[in-house]
Amino acid sequence: MNVVPVPRSPGVDLQTPIARHWMGGNVFLTHSVNGVCILFPAGERFFVRAVRHYMKDVSDPLLHARVKGFFGQEGRHAKEHERAFALLEEQGYRIEGFLKFYEWLGYGVIEKIAPRKLSLATTVALEHYTAILAEHALGTDLLDNADPRMRALLSWHAAEEIEHRSVAFDVLREIDASYAWRMAGLVLGSMCLAGFWSAATASLLLQEKDLPRGKIRRDMMRTSARIRKRLPLWRALKSYVKREFHPGDSDMDHLAARYLRESRLDLAAHAPS
């Protein structure tokens, strides 16, 4: 899959307030999505740093062009999600404390001590997780009851994640195709994603003081049942640990193409942000 990713503007109004529990009233699901969204900006800038370090070792001009498109897309994702922070703050949630902790531990400590190749391999693993989540967002009814603006923001992000899902992998393969590095990245990436995502979600849920008794627990049960049934995380892990794994082998391009066509973002590919 050698498509050159195209950075687009999502064209979403993030100025006017949205409902606090914008995932169809499900508090747990709303904060799980809010939680991963607050990880995105610093995480995506980390992906760009991890890949940029090896640009000098990439000789294939097509891969160079794909990496440039990847940088453009991730840069825009980071900016747009950062704009959405204001919505959360407007709803009364405090996120700066968590963000300080996350950025310090993730990028001030772990990134500083990890070898550069491990940072790249971790990026590759996290890009795989992102693509699986993107497939879930565009290919199921997950966002059907979401606030339309958040749905548009997440669908735009998901479509571009699907589009560039092989780029970091192909850079790692060009500089070092070893299976051991890819697996080391999977271990670190999985631990960081699980730890930071749970902490971000918990930091938001703990701020819900005025909900009816048992509401969070009920929403959590509903969400866990749905995830167990619909999100193919185990299958995604099993395919990633195969030696012959390549992100481009998974059949999800049609989901991105359909969304970009229906939202007319395919026409607005070069619109300024």
* Interface residues toward Fe ion, by CB under 5 A: 44, 74, 77, 161
Smallest distance from Fe ion to CB 192, Å: 15
Smallest distance from Fe ion to CB 4, Å: 15
Q: Which is nearer to Fe ion, 27 or 189 (CB)?
A: 189
Smallest distance from Fe ion to CB 157, Å: 6
Q: Which is nearer to Fe ion, 74 or 219 (CB)?
A: 74
Smallest distance from Fe ion to CB 213, Å: 38
Q: Cβ-closest residue to Fe ion?
A: 77
Contact 131, 73 (CB under 8 A): no
**Closest to 222 measured CA to CA, from 150, 137, 153, 142:** 142
Q: Which is nearer to Fe ion, 44 or 135 (CB)?
A: 44
Contact 216, 27 (CB under 8 A): yes
Smallest distance from Fe ion to CB 168, Å: 8
**Closest to 270 measured CA to CA, from 5, 9, 4, 2:** 9
Q: Which is nearer to Fe ion, 161 or 170 (CB)?
A: 161
Q: ∠ CA(9), CA(14), CA(19), 5° rounding?
A: 135
Q: Which residues of 22-39 are buried (b: 16+ CB within 10 A; e: fewer)?
A: bbeebbbbbbbbbbbbbb
Q: Which is nearer to Fe ion, 27 or 256 (CB)?
A: 256
CA 200 to CA 141: how far, in whole Å? 24
Amino acid letter, 37: C
